[in-house]
């Protein structure tokens, strides 16, 4: 018998149904069925995901609220609702926001890396989920998204600048 889940992929909620298949699992996402098989490569966080016989390499790291998954250059936060819950939790409130003494929020770097793209500039109005900038860490580009709607007051970093965890990146009010 198929099991049904609500899966939060970043800010998007998907209905997923999972059942046993002939060679792995059958997975229904948005009324479309796929054959899927996930195989771990050694003892690492590297996996091979076969979807309808098309291989995809991914890195998956479990965290309290779900999983962080990297496929190619794209990074996803995934939370899965179980039978006891109607809906998985929203993406976690990040420790990358800190109140600014003059009002608003300082967005802090969540990692060590190099700023490769800065999309936000002072005066920009952003909505929750807007990509503000990209930080390269360990040869992977990580999009830093707005965790709330607001207006960018000031940007503290520029492309090519090295940042550490906790480095102030911009102010959002």
Query: Do 112 and 71 belong to one domain?
Result: no
CATH at residue 165:
2.40.50.100
Q: How many CB atoms lie within 10 A of CB 73?
A: 12
State pLDDT tens for residues 49-95. 899 989 888 877 777 777 878 776 566 778 777 655 555 555 544 44
Q: Among 172, 95, 105, 100, which residue's Cα sits nearest to residue 132? A: 172
pLDDT, position 73: 54
**CA Rg value for the chain:** 19
CATH at residue 29:
3.30.700.30
Q: Is the pLDDT of residue 43 over 50?
A: yes
At 123, the pLDDT band (50, 70, 90 cuts) reads: very high
pLDDT, position 94: 44
Number of domain units in the chain: 2
At 102, the pLDDT band (50, 70, 90 cuts) reads: low
- Give the integer Cα–Cα distance in Å for 163 and 73: 20
Percent of the chain at pLDDT exceeding 90: 25
Q: What is the DSSP string of 67-105?
A: EEEEETTEEEEEEE--TT-SSPPPSPPPTTEEE-TTSSE
At 139, the pLDDT band (50, 70, 90 cuts) reads: confident
- Give the integer Cα–Cα distance in Å for 112 and 65: 22
Residue 130 lies in a domain: yes
């Amino acid at each position: 018998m198929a099991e049904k889940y609500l899966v939060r992929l970043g800010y998007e909620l998907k209905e997923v149904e999972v059942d046993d298949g002939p060679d792995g699992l059958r997975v229904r996402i948005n009324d479309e069925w796929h054959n899927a098989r996930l195989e771990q490569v050694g003892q690492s966080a590297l996996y091979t995901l076969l979807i309808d016989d098309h291989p995809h390499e991914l890195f998956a790291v479990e965290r309290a609220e779900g999983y962080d998954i990297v496929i190619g250059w794209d990074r996803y936060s995934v939370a899965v609702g179980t039978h006891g819950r109607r809906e998985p939790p929203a993406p976690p409130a990040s420790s990358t926001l800190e109140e600014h003494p003059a009002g608003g929020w300082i967005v802090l770097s969540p990692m060590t890396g190099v700023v490769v793209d800065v999309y936000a500039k002072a005066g920009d109005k952003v909505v929750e989920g807007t990509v503000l900038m990209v930080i390269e860490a360990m040869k992977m580009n990580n999009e830093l998204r707005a965790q709330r709607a607001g207006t960018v007051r000031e940007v503290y970093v520029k492309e090519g600048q090295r940042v550490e965890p906790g480095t102030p990146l911009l102010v959002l009010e």
